Amino acid sequence: MINVGAKSRALLHFRLQTQSTAPGTLTADWFRNSNLQIPGPNPPQIKRIPANTEYLRQFAIDGAYITPQRTNETSKAYKRRIYDTMVILLRETPELPIMRISRLWATTGWASVWINLYGTPVPEDIKNDWYRAIHDIVHTQKRLNRINMAVTNLCRHCNATDNLSHCLIECGEGQVMGVWTRERLATVLRTNMRLISDGWLLRSTLSIWPPKRRRAVLGILANIVVYRLQQRHTLTCHDCYDFLRRAKWKLQATR
């Protein structure tokens, strides 16, 4: 089976090398200014190449492993040699590690979660706090106890296991707050509140049209999470409503 990634890089490498030998071309000028007419050292010194010409940097990296075309070597054979080299390079490239939260919730559509997070109309500090909650790295008693920084994993206020779910929807008026939040979201979405899951707070894969309505829902979710993490033991629904109203006003004031 053809390795599409290796083939694409091989064709680009061959095309750039061909264009660099054609007099009067812009590619030839780039190669001359970046000193790419001959194979560079290994590892290549790519800092001499402008950062906005990423393809030239990649050419320099790959070129350190590919000798120029021989005099008796056909173009087809040369392209095949480039392709074989690219296959080896891609095979030896280490795979990016899978995030811990992605392993824990493997069935979640994480691409949609990150798109929703970065598209939420809230200040960066609220996005950062929501990011921490999504990754489950909030300093709950359970987490602190697991890394030997707390003597117990129990909540100081109700003696239940203090995990992230407990912080957001169980401790204090969390359950009342959860019902209130679902009612508000159901009003915005014009749907039944029973169809709205508590999982939206941490793994929001929702796709709503129009985009304005989706941003409104995401803004509510982000602010609810942040407010619960900061004031989870003493808040009331009225306090949270005031918090959301102030957050909306601050967002409008910064635009």
Question: Mean pLDDT in runs of 10 for the chain (255 residues)?
Answer: 86 88 83 73 64 80 83 91 90 73 88 91 89 90 87 88 89 83 88 86 87 90 87 63 70 60
Separation CA 115–CA 48 (nearest Å): 35
Residue 73's domain comprises 4-92
Prediction pTM value: 0.60
Q: Which residues contact 13 (CB under 8 A, 6 or more apart)?
A: 59, 62, 63, 66, 82, 86
Residues 30 and 62 in one domain: yes
Say whether both 87 and 136 belong to one domain.
Answer: no
Long-range contacts of 162-165 (CB under 8 A, 24+ apart): 164/133, 164/136, 164/138, 164/140, 164/202, 165/198
> For residue 25, what pLDDT is reported?
83
Considering the domain architecture, whether residues 170 and 45 belong to the same structural domain is answered as: no
Distance between CA atoms of residues 199 and 27, nearest Å: 52
**Whether residue 76 sits in one domain with residue 139:** no
- The domain boundary residue, chosen from 92, 125, 153: 92
> Which helix (DSSP H) or strand (DSSP E) does residue 51 occupy?
none
84 and 110 inside one domain: no
Q: Give yes or no: residues 181 and 107 share one domain.
A: yes
> Which residue, among 73, 106, 80, 94, has the nearest Cα to 6 in the 3D structure?
80
Do 46 and 120 lie in one domain? The reply is no
Number of structural domains the chain divides into? 2
Query: Are residues 64 and 148 located together in one domain of the fold?
Result: no
Identify whether the C-beta of residue 198 lies closer than 8 Å to the C-beta of residue 169: yes
Tokens 């500090």: give the residue.
Answer: 125
Domain boundary among 42, 66, 92: 92
Give yes or no for a contact between 135 and 164, defined as CB atoms under 8 angstroms apart.
no
Choosing from 92, 126, 143, the residue where a domain stops is 92
Q: What is the pLDDT of residue 64?
A: 80
Q: Are residue 72 and residue 107 in the same domain, yes or no?
A: no
